A and B are shown apart, each in its own frame.
Chain A
Amino acid sequence: MVTQAPVKDAALQAAIDQAKQNGCRVVRSTVEGQSYVYRSLNRAEWKKLQKLAFAASEEVDGSISATKAMQYREDSEDELVKLAIMSPSTDNLQGWPAGNVPRLVELITKLSGFDEVEIVTEEL
């Protein structure tokens, strides 16, 4: 569920304003009764995560190992959540309900446009 309720925390509001000024999209969602404020990722952040994922999945000969990629997936999900979640604090991420992180990853990637977008093209 996505809500647009006003934010009471002044520091959080300032962080939201800053994120929006930087071109990010910010929303609040409730997952399993817990409210989360998160923002979209920008290209530089996305590339950094992708680079780490490729480096972690690369074999000595330069090929990509599917097993290694799967093993790294959990770590990369944590990294993504830490980057995008603005509230609550992600310091105690290991203590969060297990299913919330993958669900938040889905929501964050969708907010970052990795889903259906409407594209109209015309020749000029």
Chain B
Amino acid sequence: MPSFKLEKDLLMLRQQHEQLFYVKVTLESDIFEFIYRPLTLAETKAVSKIGPAIPPYLVNEEICKWCILAGDPIEPGALFTTAIASLADHLSDNILSHSGFNDPENFVRLLDEKRTTLDTLEGGIEAFICTAFHGLTPLDVQNMTLHQQVDRLAKAERMIGNQLPVGMTAQSEKGKARKRQSAEAAWLTSKEAADKIDVNKEALQQREFVTGGDLLDMNDDG
């Protein structure tokens, strides 16, 4: 878990970067925490190109300069001057291994994840808006308010000449919610649940009370 200081930095960083990593380096009793973004493809290519020509410690520092966004207790800038000598090297190794351009398995796993995201309403909205407005990135869409998103989506639909199947997507999300509820219900009536402490019974009683209230209202109306 990131420290309180890094959590505060994260609030800002999440608006600027789609993917972030937290790394904790423990050197006996000293702990150093950092947040970084992965390397882009262009940066990875640059590292492969200039890597053999300059000393490794300089390559490592360059990677840290690009990617390390926040640190506790030391600031990213100190990595190249006053920090423990090896930190920049350990961090650049970590950044390279998590950037994943040299790992086909990681690529396939991420692609699978992103395909699943596209099936959701959120993913569909991003895809529609970015298709119509080429200047916008998915991150820009995430930084919009609901009102802005719906406004851009409506315009995107008009420009593309096709409508996002919101009903179907919403239904499929409802379906997922329903499945979750049935699973909960099945669990509540199971033997395992019966053996559990009274918290679940309280939850059941509350549900009964709410249902009873609805019935009373209906009777009153009638």
Taking Cβ atoms with an 8 Å cutoff, the residues of A that contact B are 22-25, 40-47, 50-51, 54, 112-114, 117-124
Contact = CB atoms under 8 A, between A and B. Distances in A.
B37 to A, nearest CB: 10
Interface stretch (B15-23, B137-145, B177-185): B15-23
Given A42-B83, A45-B85, A113-B84, A122 B94 contact: no
Interface string B45-89: 000000000010100000000000000001000111111111111
A119 B82 contact: no
A104 to B, nearest CB: 15
B85 A114 contact: yes
B86 A113 contact: yes
A-B pairs with lowest CB-CB distance, top 6: A113-B86, A46-B85, A118-B26, A112-B85, A124-B20, A41-B85
A120 B84 contact: no
B23 A120 contact: yes
28 contacts: A23-B82, A23-B84, A25-B84, A42-B81, A42-B85, A43-B79, A43-B85, A43-B87, A44-B80, A46-B85, A46-B86, A50-B55, A50-B57, A112-B84, A113-B27, A113-B85, A113-B86, A117-B90, A119-B25, A119-B90, A121-B22, A121-B23, A123-B19, A124-B10, A124-B14, A124-B21, A124-B22, A124-B35
B30 interface: yes
Interface of B: 2, 10, 14, 19-28, 30, 35, 55, 57, 74, 78-90, 94, 98
A43 B94 contact: no
A43 B80 contact: yes
Nearest to A122: B22
Contacts of B85: 40-43, 45-46, 112-114
Contacts of B28: 25
Contacts of A23: 74, 78, 82-84
Central interface residue in A44, A46, A54, A117, by most chain B CB within 10 Å: A117
A121 B20 contact: no
B58 to A, nearest CB: 8
B82 A123 contact: no
Contact of B27 (A117, A122, A124): A117
Contacts of A40: 84-85
A5 B146 CA distance: 63
